Structure 1
Amino acid sequence: MSEHRHTLRGAITVAVAVGVAMGTLTAGGLPQRQDTAPVAAAESATPADTAEHARLRAILRRLTTVDGGPGALVAMRDRRGSTVLTSGVADVKSHAPVRGDSRFRIGSMTKTFVATVMLQLAGERRVVLDAPVERYLPGVVRGHGNDGRLMTVRQLLQHTSGVPDILDHLKPQDILKNPLAHHDTRDLVNTALAHPPTFKPGKGWRYSSTGYLLAGMIIERVTGRPYGDEIRRRVIEPLGLRETYVPGDASAIPGPHPRGYVRPGANAPLVDLTAINPSVAGAGGEMISSGADVNRFLDALLRGGLLRPAQLREMMRTRPTGNPDGRAYGLGLESRPLPCGGLYWGHSGDMFGYETVSGATVRGRQATVMVNVDPGGTDAQSDDMKAAVRTALCK
């Protein structure tokens, strides 16, 4: 899940309120605010580092005070080493601080991993990006004007297929009444395809998690293995990402992690939604990772450690999204302008209880910001998270 957090907020607010009233969800109190010391500083801070860290600490304090987040972290990495700064609490009851090695649900950051595997398959000539979806999933995309014979694999990955977005057609109240329920990918796809396309394939741009559910199905059809197994085999294990998981039906987050909270409204108490079956997001957003692992993944990706040059160029061939901030979308990877010049590459993601924003430059600097509330009740949280990434990258 990602770009639809504002669209879904009202429905989630109602759903959470219903869940608390029915006793299916637990409301927590507001956290005490506190900052914690930096973790794993790579070397002695220079004056430039000190100024940068001061700016980042100010943003983290804003995220965990006026923005209403319980806890937050920013993980930074460059050729000299890594640093993590944290603020706030991982648990509003115990007031335990956020750990620098915390795992979060990373939501739509999953899409970058999925697109990487698909492009690896393209490099192996097992998938043709401009082939119709029908070639790999015969008869799957049909009905209400949707036709897999008319849309391509590339269009799924770039959100230009016009396939209706499952996030527009899920009922959050149904998810939150039974957050541990399994959701079958084909059922989710069929729910989306019961609605007409948003435009003809190739004639527009609109974010659609359904496209990535279909991409996961294509990976499984081509390789004979679940898309998650391919991510583990092709990305997680080669890079040694020990804090990254494709959980499937597992509702627990392995290893150290903050509690994940939903805030039904700006002044409402937090609701604990740490345990949820992530199959509801599937290949569109189910993964778990840490800031350090996300940074390592983006660095390897942009350096060409995961894709051949031709496929990396395809991934980074973007088209405008129409967003006034200048964002452009490639294949599972987006670019945004930096105030200090140039672009950064990355993705954002949110899943009930957690939000992540990550970016990297081609010069070898990465930054990932994570907060343990989603939705947070205001729009300011996402804006401040992006500001933290820009600040970290514009050293």
Structure 2
Amino acid sequence: MSSTLTDQDRPELRKAIEEIVESGFTGVTMRVHDERGEWVGSAGVRKLGETAKPPANGHVRIGSNTKTFTATVALQLVAEGAIGLDAPAADHLPGFGLDPKITVRMLLQHTSGVFNFTGEYYDDGTFAPGIPATTAGQEWVDNRFKTYRPEELVRLALSKPARFEPGTDWSYSNTNYVLTRLLIEKVTGHSLAEEMQRLILGPLGLSDTVVPDTSPEIPEPHPHAYYRYEDAGEQKTVDVTRQNPSWISTGGDMISTTQDLHTFISALMGGKLLPAPLLAEMCEPHPKVGYGLGVFVQKVGHPLGVFVREAGEDGGTVITHNGGTGGHAALMYSTPDGSRTLTAALNYVDDAALSMGEAFQKTTQTLVSEVFGGGRAGAADAAEPTR
């Protein structure tokens, strides 16, 4: 962008991020690129007990935004002829007993029916647990440096009943993207990190984006992430900035910055990473929830899960994926042509009850309204949690 705007230029954006902190978040950094230029602002604190704001381009764990990066790599391999989008995933992953009806497309769109290894929430309100995720309280805190191999996560998921027959419904499952990781690695003979570097990070110069695998480290500068749990009737809050993200794997393990997320989503939507026909398929929404292949497709002014196709509806379309995991979260939005983007990094105190969930949903509604909807109330999105 040709100009960097100040709080005086965009007081509505400054007000929006201050309200995010008032709603209970520890800190937030937001970056907006549009026809008026670039605006970057921070509010709150980078660390509890200190006064410094979160760094303007700090590193955070981006949670389920990882899925958009992973889907893009898979589609790039489709473009190269290495993967068939509608081929059975089991053709490349024969060792898991995967239902042969499950295609690569179904993995990317969450229509495989495969159990979610971080736990499955059913329509009747029941919950079937998976691995000890961040909904497990102290158990997760005590095990946050444990290494899980992706094959282990997949085998756990496949030991559980499928949610539905492949292709007959939609349900968000982190397992789909761990399977996608394993498929990419099998087809290419390289790690996902290597393919990510070859196809996305290198060409776009995303030097602040990391595929950590099992490393608990996060590059400086970064805001701190926290987790609260109860121990013997006492509330404890722990700094969980360092954690082994293999527990979530490709469901949400990557680290990035608001600048790199902007560069990525604007390049992706601008046609710099995928051929036009594949980009169009990526952004074709599933009728149940508006999920494409690694992205949500939404109408501004309508809630998550409602995609309105009729002409003349209020608001435009945004392409998005958000994510939150263990005290860090990231937002990523773009117009379909990549010309206007909103990216944000949040740090907060997470807990087993997902207490910040409602505030997170209101946060995204407010920001999308301000940036893409002209300040109209009701523009909506809620992050799909990684867990």
**Structure 2-normalised TM-score?**
0.83
Structure 2: gaps of 5 or more residues: 120-129, 302-313, 375-387
**Paired AA for residue 131 in structure 2:** L
Are 2:259 and 1:284 aligned?
no
Could you tell me how far apart the structure 2 residues matched to 1:156 and 1:199 are? 13
* Residue 170 (structure 2) aligns with: 205
> What's 2:151 paired with?
186
- Relative to structure 1, the CA distance from residue 308 to residue 178 in structure 2 (aligned partners, 3 Å threshold; closer, same or farther) is same
Instruction: Quote the Cα distance in structure 1 between the aligned partners of 2:5 and 2:64.
Output: 35
Name the Cα RMSD after superposition.
2.1
Counterpart amino acid of residue 216 in structure 2: S
- Residue correspondence of structure 1 range 98-113 to structure 2 within 5 A: 98-113=54-69
Residues 214-223 or 231-240, more deviating: 231-240
Contact 2:320–2:333 (Cα < 8 Å) also in 1? yes
For 1:331 and 1:288, locate their aligned partners in 2 and report how far apart those are by CA, in whole Å.
21
Give how far 1:263 is off.
Answer: 3.9
Q: What is the match of residue 278 of structure 2?
A: 311
Shift of 1:269: 6.1
Indicate conservation of the 8 Å contact 1:41/1:83, yes or no. no
> Is the counterpart of residue 384 in structure 1 residue 370 in structure 2?
no
CA displacement at 1:268 relative to structure 2: 5.7
Is 1:369 aligned to 2:344, yes or no?
yes
Residue 204 of structure 1, CA deviation: 0.3
Q: Give 2:152's aligned amino acid.
A: D
Hey, what does 1:261 align to over in structure 2?
226
Q: Contact 1:41–1:84 (CA<8 Å) still a contact in 2?
A: no
Say yes or no: does 1:89 pair with 2:45: yes
Aligned to 1:60: 17
Distance 1:198 1:360, change over 3 A: same
Alignment of 1:335 onto 2:297: yes
Do residues 122 (structure 1) and 78 (structure 2) align? yes
The CA deviation at 1:307 is 0.4
The equivalent residue for 1:154 is 105
Give the partner amino acid of 2:61: R
SS at 2:264 equivalent: helix
Between Structure 1 and Structure 2, which shows a larger proportion of helix residues?
1
Q: What SS does the aligned partner of 2:95 have?
A: coil
Could you tell me which amino acid in structure 2 is paired with residue 232 of structure 1? Answer: Q
Q: Distance in 2 between matches of 1:239 and 1:288?
A: 16
Which is worse superposed, 119-128 or 267-276? 267-276
Q: Is the 8 A contact 1:77 1:83 kept in 2?
A: yes
> Which residue in 1 is equivalent to 2:203?
238
Contact 1:59–1:384 under 8 Å retained in 2 = no
Q: Which residue identity is paired with 1:290?
A: T
Per-residue deviation, 1:245: 0.7
Pick the aligned partner of 1:295 from 262, 267, 271. 262
Cα displacement string for residues 16-40 of structure 1 (whole angstroms, at most 9, x for unaligned residues): xxxxxxxxxxxxxxxxxxxxxxxx9
Which residue does 1:31 correspond to in 2?
none
Give the letter aligned to residue 185 of structure 1. Answer: P
Give the number of aligned pairs: 340
Structure 1 unaligned residues grouped into runs of 5+: 1-39, 323-327
In 1, the alpha carbon distance for the partners of 2:340 and 2:235 equals 38
The Cα of 1:392 is off from its aligned counterpart by 1.9
Could you give the per-residue CA deviations for residues 97-148 of structure 1, whole angstroms, max 9, x where no partner exists? 11111111001100000000000010111100111111110131x3xxxx43
Cα pair 2:32 2:343 within 8 Å, conserved: yes
1:135 matches 2:110: no
2:3 to 32, 37, 42: 42
Counterpart of 2:246, as a letter, is S
* Shift in alpha-carbon separation, 1:242–1:288, aligned structure 2, 3 A: same
Q: TM-score, normalised on structure 1? A: 0.81
Alpha-carbon offset, residue 167 of structure 1 = 1.3
Tell me if 1:165 matches 2:113: no
SS of 2:39's equivalent?
strand
After superposition, the Cα gap between the structure-2 partners of 1:393 and 1:308, relative to the gap in structure 1 and judged at 3 Å, is same
